[in-house]
């Protein structure tokens, strides 16, 4: 493996020896070649791509909301502007690897990504890699991986988009996108700002107000109506993308993204404290920057990237002492610095495609809690300071012996700190059964590893430096079909999957009063995913479209019993729904667009034993219905889009996480302004 890591940069640099042709005719042929070879790159993989229509449906929505209605992922969230994490195929949030413009953005401390902090209008393209397909992007995606991309405009000239949104609970959103494209360069800058009081009302079924008769006996009770306390938030984002075309055919891309969030952590509905007596808040300042270089040849592609991530996260929990002073109960602050570099290349030889890459991430983490008081009554720092280098090498070979058959094998190996993972192989195959309807069979298998996060190993108190890496074997197979007719276009993809993960890492309470991570013997996950779409163009200015997803997921704990009475063995993992589905329907007539979004989640257990004896043991199933109506107005020099959205149309009362009530029916009105420039 060491020899492989040393030789890989040499192999990548060898791509420089090929000479690019400068004629216009040759460049056009290169473009056609790359387009055809993209099918070779993705063959056999289970991959879902979200288009701009799905990503741009709601300026007030985060990427978490887009993934909820447009994919088979389960998004566990605590409400708007609160922690939102993704679960692929019944796995945990840390089993979903996420990259932005090629750079991994998972927290080295927690191992996951909070999708509520990513505005959907900031993302130009999102690719979801299911199961074994995630190995192509990164190791550690035991459930899957998500690749996010931002870019500069394709259309020549200057453009400007401005959106102003106002909604329920005193919520205000603003988005501004300014872009320009010239012959040699292009630029895009985006601003996003949102502020909300987020104090929606809900009926609290965890509390009761009792009524008494004249003798002091209970004569009845009612559930109180309360407001979401301490839920206000404020987010600001700015993103700059710049593309420069070099004199020798190379292209430079620079992306810089800064975000500042200030979010209150809402009180639980079982919390009897007054809102004014506590402050529960999280502040997050994050900068991500990536610079990349790419050069295309007639038979190869070479890319190099470098990046830097900085995060300053402060969680503060204070209580009012009653004399105008506040006491810090928790003052936890973390600083994360990550240096990133990557080189990769692709080479095409007839029916063969070879690729190789090497990726390095150097993390520096400092995590402290300054509110800890020692036994002597003095302030004491509690936390850790660690650095870790993570290196990943990858090679693959893809071969299409005939038009119908495609085969691919790959090998990845990681070095984290001083530990070397075993080889991570993967295999993909596809076969075109019928050209009519493009009926395609696909199958894939992969071995995968995920090493513990820094919090898993070093968090104080509770970190476990003896944890083993998680090891998984994943298989999936299915078929896809599509029909592109003149009036009707439809597509469908049905996949079955099975995975077995050994040494699953989970945090459990200890007799000392804190939680600590341990390895569970194994977790088995299996199920079915379906995704389908339909577009009808009957003419007369009408268009009808629909997109649907369905998942059946069983994720079972097969660990060793902690005691003779352990009832968690063979049970569904907590907060993983067995059934989930989503549908989006769209009706367009002239300048009017009506959209209907529907989603469903079956019951989720809150205990590992899957008890249903009390309301605290299980969260009931729920259906969510949203509608929107948009009208386009054209004026000389400007186009206006006015959009009204109604969420939770039937005022459903539900919880996605225990003791975290969600808002009822709510509304948003937005205006999008697109000036015309000549």
Tens of pLDDT, residue by residue over 51-71, are 888 888 887 788 999 999 899
Instruction: Give the three-class secondary structure for 214.
Output: coil
Task: Using pLDDT thresholds of 50, 70 and 90, give the confidence band for residue 77.
Answer: confident
Residues 548-605: pLDDT tens digits?
Answer: 999 999 999 887 666 544 667 888 988 999 999 999 999 999 999 999 999 999 999 8
**603 within 8 A of 620, measured Cβ to Cβ:** yes
Residue 524: pLDDT above 60?
Answer: yes
Long-range contact list for 416-424, CB < 8 A, 24+ apart?
416/388, 416/389, 416/390, 416/391, 416/451, 417/388, 417/389, 419/451, 419/469, 420/1, 421/139, 421/449, 421/451, 421/469, 422/447, 422/449, 423/1, 423/447, 424/135, 424/139, 424/448, 424/449
Least confident range from 110-114, 123-127, 367-371: namely 367-371
Query: Locate tokens 């009931």: which residue?
Result: 620
**How far, CA to CA in Å, does 228 sit from each of 83, 231, 266, 363, 673?**
16, 6, 6, 37, 33
> Which token pair is 448?
């995968």
**pLDDT recorded at residue 352:** 93
* Distance in angstroms (rounded) separating the CA atoms of residues 161 and 641: 11
Structurally, at CATH architecture level, domain 2-216+240-675 sits in Beta Barrel (2.40)
Please provide the average confidence, as pLDDT, over all residues in the chain: 88
Name the DSSP class of 15.
Answer: G
Residues in the chain: 678
User: What mean pLDDT do residues 147-162 have?
Assistant: 92
385 burial level (CB within 10 Å; 0-12, 13-18, 19+): exposed
> Sign of the CA dihedral 38, 41, 46, 52?
negative
Residue 360: pLDDT above 60?
Answer: yes
Residue 529: pLDDT above 70?
Answer: yes
> Which token pair is 418?
């001083």
Residue 18: pLDDT above 50?
Answer: no
Instruction: Give the three-class secondary structure for 184.
Output: coil
Least confident range from 1-5, 248-252, 346-350, 496-500: namely 1-5
Query: Locate tokens 């259906």: which residue?
Result: 623
**pLDDT recorded at residue 35:** 44
Half-sphere exposure of 467 (CA within 13 A, CB side): 27
* Distance in angstroms (rounded) separating the CA atoms of residues 207 and 200: 17
> Sign of the CA dihedral 649, 650, 651, 653?
negative
**pLDDT recorded at residue 58:** 81
Contacts of 424 (CB under 8 A, 6+ apart): 135, 139, 411, 412, 413, 414, 446, 447, 448, 449
Q: Are strands 144-149 and 96-100 parallel, antiparallel or unpaired?
A: parallel
Task: Using pLDDT thresholds of 50, 70 and 90, give the confidence band for residue 145.
Answer: very high
**How far, CA to CA in Å, does 74 sit from each of 77, 89, 96, 401, 454?**
10, 8, 11, 38, 25
Task: Using pLDDT thresholds of 50, 70 and 90, give the confidence band for residue 607.
Answer: confident
Count other C-beta atoms under 10 Å from residue 649's C-beta.
14
**pLDDT recorded at residue 509:** 84
Higher pLDDT, 436 or 521: 436
Higher pLDDT, 11 or 502: 502
Q: Which residues pair with 134 in a beta bridge?
A: none
> Which token pair is 275?
């809102």
Q: Are strands 125-130 and 47-50 parallel, antiparallel or unpaired?
A: antiparallel
> Which token pair is 28?
């056009």
Task: Using pLDDT thresholds of 50, 70 and 90, give the confidence band for residue 260.
Answer: very high
Residue 448: pLDDT above 50?
Answer: yes
**503 within 8 A of 519, measured Cβ to Cβ:** yes
> Which token pair is 261?
């969030």
**pLDDT recorded at residue 560:** 67
Instruction: Give the three-class secondary structure for 319.
Output: strand
Q: Dmax of the chain from CA atoms?
A: 98
Contacts of 262 (CB under 8 A, 6+ apart): 233, 234, 235, 281, 282, 283
**pLDDT recorded at residue 32:** 38
**pLDDT recorded at residue 372:** 62
Closest CA to 388 of 361, 413, 368: 361
Instruction: Identify the helix (H) or strand (E) that includes residue 35.
Output: helix 24-41
* Distance in angstroms (rounded) separating the CA atoms of residues 382 and 372: 7
**How far, CA to CA in Å, does 345 sit from each of 33, 296, 357?**
16, 10, 6
How would you classify residue 383: left for phi > 0, otherwise alpha for psi between -120 and 50, otherwise beta? left
> Sign of the CA dihedral 395, 400, 401, 406?
positive
* Distance in angstroms (rounded) separating the CA atoms of residues 362 and 338: 5
**pLDDT recorded at residue 54:** 87
Task: Using pLDDT thresholds of 50, 70 and 90, give the confidence band for residue 618.
Answer: confident
Residue 29: pLDDT above 60?
Answer: no
**pLDDT recorded at residue 337:** 98
**pLDDT recorded at residue 376:** 53
* Distance in angstroms (rounded) separating the CA atoms of residues 443 and 165: 45
Integer distance in angstroms from the first to the last C-alpha of the chain?
57
**pLDDT recorded at residue 678:** 64
User: What mean pLDDT do residues 346-375 have?
Assistant: 88
Residue 261: pLDDT above 90?
Answer: yes
Half-sphere exposure of 109 (CA within 13 A, CB side): 21
Task: Using pLDDT thresholds of 50, 70 and 90, give the confidence band for residue 8.
Answer: very low
Residues 381-437: pLDDT tens digits?
Answer: 688 999 999 999 999 999 999 989 999 999 999 999 888 989 999 999 999 999 999
Query: At CA 589, angle to CA 584 and CA 592, rounded to 5?
Result: 75
**pLDDT recorded at residue 7:** 38
User: What mean pLDDT do residues 185-202 have?
Assistant: 95
**How far, CA to CA in Å, does 366 sit from each of 370, 516, 644?**
12, 19, 45
**pLDDT recorded at residue 12:** 37
**pLDDT recorded at residue 610:** 78
Higher pLDDT, 178 or 36: 178
Rg (CA), the chain: 26
User: What mean pLDDT do residues 476-500 have?
Assistant: 94
Higher pLDDT, 206 or 174: 174
* Distance in angstroms (rounded) separating the CA atoms of residues 104 and 208: 47
**406 within 8 A of 400, measured Cβ to Cβ:** yes
Name the DSSP class of 462.
Answer: T
């Amino acid at each position: 493996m060491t020899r492989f890591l040393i030789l890989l940069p040499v192999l990548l640099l060898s791509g420089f020896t090929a000479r690019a042709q400068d004629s216009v005719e040759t460049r056009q042929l290169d473009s056609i070649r790359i387009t055809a070879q993209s099918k070779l790159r993705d063959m056999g993989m289970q991959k879902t791509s979200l288009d701009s229509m799905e990503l741009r449906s709601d300026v007030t929505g985060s990427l978490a909301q887009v993934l909820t209605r447009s994919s088979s992922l389960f998004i566990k969230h605590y409400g708007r502007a609160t922690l939102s994490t993704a679960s692929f195929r019944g796995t945990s949030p840390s089993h979903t690897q996420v990259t932005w413009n090629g750079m991994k953005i998972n927290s080295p401390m927690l191992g996951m990504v909070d999708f509520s902090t990513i505005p959907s209008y900031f993302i130009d393209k999102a690719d979801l890699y299911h199961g074994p397909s995630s190995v192509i992007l990164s190791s550690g995606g035991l459930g899957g991986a998500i690749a996010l991309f931002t870019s500069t405009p394709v259309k020549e000239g200057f453009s400007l988009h401005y959106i102003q949104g106002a909604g329920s609970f005193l919520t205000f959103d603003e988005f501004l996108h300014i872009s320009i494209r010239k012959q040699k360069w292009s630029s895009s800058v985006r601003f996003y700002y949102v502020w909300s009081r987020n104090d929606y009302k809900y009926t609290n079924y965890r509390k009761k107000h009792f009524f008494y008769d004249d003798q002091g006996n209970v004569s009845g009770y009612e559930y109180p109506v309360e407001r979401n306390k301490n839920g206000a938030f404020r987010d600001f984002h700015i993103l700059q993308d710049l593309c420069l075309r070099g004199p020798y055919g190379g292209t430079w891309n620079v992306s810089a993204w800064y975000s500042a969030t200030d979010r209150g952590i809402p009180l639980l509905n079982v919390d009897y404290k007054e809102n004014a007596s506590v402050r529960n808040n999280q502040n997050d300042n994050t900068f991500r920057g990536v610079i990349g270089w790419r050069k295309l040849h007639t038979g190869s592609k070479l890319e190099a990237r470098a990046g830097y991530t900085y995060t300053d996260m402060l969680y503060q929990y204070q209580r009012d002492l009653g004399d105008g002073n506040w006491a810090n109960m928790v003052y936890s602050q973390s600083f994360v610095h990550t240096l990133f570099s990557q080189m990769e290349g692709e080479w095409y030889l007839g029916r063969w495609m070879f690729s190789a890459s090497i990726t390095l991430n150097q993390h520096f983490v400092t995590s402290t809690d300054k509110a800890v008081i020692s036994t002597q009554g003095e302030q004491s720092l509690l936390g850790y300071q660690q650095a870790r280098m993570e290196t990943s090498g990858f090679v693959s070979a893809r071969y299409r012996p005939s038009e119908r058959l495609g085969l691919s094998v790959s090998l990845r190996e990681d070095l984290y700190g001083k530990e070397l993972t075993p080889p991570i192989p993967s295999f993909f195959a596809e076969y075109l059964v019928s050209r009519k309807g493009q009926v395609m069979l696909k199958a894939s298998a992969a071995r995968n590893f995920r090493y513990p996060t820094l919090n898993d190993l070093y968090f104080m108190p509770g970190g476990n430096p003896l944890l083993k890496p998680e090891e998984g074997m994943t298989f999936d197979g299915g078929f896809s079909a599509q029909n592109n007719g003149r009036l009707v276009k439809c597509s469908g993809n049905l996949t079955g999957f099975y995975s077995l993960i050994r040494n699953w890492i989970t945090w459990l309470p200890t007799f000392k009063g804190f939680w600590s991570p341990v390895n569970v013997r194994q977790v088995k996950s299996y199920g079915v995913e379906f995704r389908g779409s339909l577009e009808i163009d009957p003419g007369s200015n009408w268009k009808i479209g629909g997109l649907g997803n369905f998942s059946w997921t069983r994720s079972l704990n097969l660990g060793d019993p902690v005691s003779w009475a352990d009832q968690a063995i063979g049970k569904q993992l907590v907060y993983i729904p067995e059934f989930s589905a989503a549908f989006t329907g769209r009706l367009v007539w002239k300048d009017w667009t009506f959209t209907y979004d529907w989603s469903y989640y079956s019951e989720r257990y809150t205990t590992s034993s899957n008890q249903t004896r009390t309301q605290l043991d299980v969260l009931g199933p729920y259906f969510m219905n949203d509608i929107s109506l948009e009208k386009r107005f054209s004026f000389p020099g400007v186009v206006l889009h006015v959009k009204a959205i109604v969420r939770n149309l039937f005022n459903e009362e539900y919880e996605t996480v225990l003791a975290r009530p969600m808002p009822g029916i709510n509304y948003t009105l937005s205006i999008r302004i697109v000036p015309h420039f000549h």
